[in-house]
Chains A and B, each alone.
Chain A
């Protein structure tokens, strides 16, 4: 039980996928202008990542095994693409606004390196099924957490007297950097 908790805390805070591993930056920068969009993107990514980690574990262990290890990346990409497609259709049906807000970033979850990175890290760390699921879920929660916090900051920054050349993406990048700096405070918390 403690182990699972540590995995969760570790992936959400200490080894945060965006702030510490610096993965998944493109939706992090792209869909964080509005709070609702960030929450939506976080939820969609959480769904895809959790499902993706589980599915990729099954594929890795029951389909590929050690013989077909060279197919890992390829098959993971295919599976993730499938899940993203499914998510996209579901969101389009259930929430056209969210679909519109997420725009191009929704299909781009496929190429979100965090989404491919976590199943691959799972393989590397030799996680069992439950651990893989938790690792995927925790990573996604960490992603959502910093997305939402970042979106909150960016909404506030809209009113700030930021010097002209730093307006928009530039100050967002600096903020992301300083956030990453702050997250280093967690280092050493979980091995």
Chain B
């Protein structure tokens, strides 16, 4: 009985010592994961995930506080990428959080009064203008986050879906195949 105890205690002490040493030897600083998650997110900074921007959301995911299916602009593919990165199961979007077609904000220049409220709301400084001057959207920088729509006191901002032109046209998935293949 005593010998059994001694043996177990001995093993435990030895392992404890080795593990204690390696805990110091293999110490890992920081969490490089946040950067990786942030790189997957679409950077719209729209806050639809419930966090004030993409980086905070990435931090929350890394800490395990947030689900991976809270980013509609990232689309299904974004969730798949996050699932792959984190080694977790894919999770579909919740009710009513489905991604919308990409759109950019458009300011009706007739109605704009130049109040600068939308300038303050834009997370990527994609609206130019000055007080009492008409504002306009820099289409190429607009992420389509919709955060400028609500602050406008005269409701002159609307979201316009991006049309297809020769520049951004994409080849379609071939359809004449008789075996329908569901995209993953």
Contact B33 A79 (CB under 8 A): no
How many angstroms between the C-alpha atoms of A67 and B28 in the bound complex? 43
A-B contact count (CB 8 A): 58
How many angstroms between the C-alpha atoms of A92 and B8 in the bound complex? 28
Contact A158 B11 (CB under 8 A): no
Q: Is A177 an interface residue (CB 8 A)?
A: no
How many angstroms between the C-alpha atoms of A79 and B12 in the bound complex? 8
Contact A82 B7 (CB under 8 A): no
The stretch that binds A, out of B19-27, B155-163, B167-175, is B19-27
Contact A90 B18 (CB under 8 A): no
Contact A103 B179 (CB under 8 A): no
Main secondary structure of the interface of B (DSSP, over half): helix
Interface size of B in residues (CB-CB distance below 8 Å): 25
The residues of A that contact B94 with a CB separation of less than 8 Å are none
Interface size of A in residues (CB-CB distance below 8 Å): 27
Q: Which residues of B from 78 to 108 have beta carbons under 8 Å from A?
A: 84-88
Report which of A71, A75, A102, A158 forms a contact with B184, defined as CB distance below 8 A: A158
Contact A79 B28 (CB under 8 A): no
The stretch that binds B, out of A16-24, A93-101, A145-153, A178-186, is A93-101
Q: Could you give 8 example pairs across A and B, Cβ below 8 Å? A: A68-B7, A71-B4, A78-B15, A89-B26, A90-B26, A92-B26, A93-B26, A103-B88
Q: A63-B7, A68-B4 are in contact. List 11 more A-B contacts (CB 8 A).
A: A37-B87, A59-B11, A67-B3, A68-B3, A75-B8, A75-B11, A96-B33, A100-B85, A100-B86, A103-B86, A104-B87
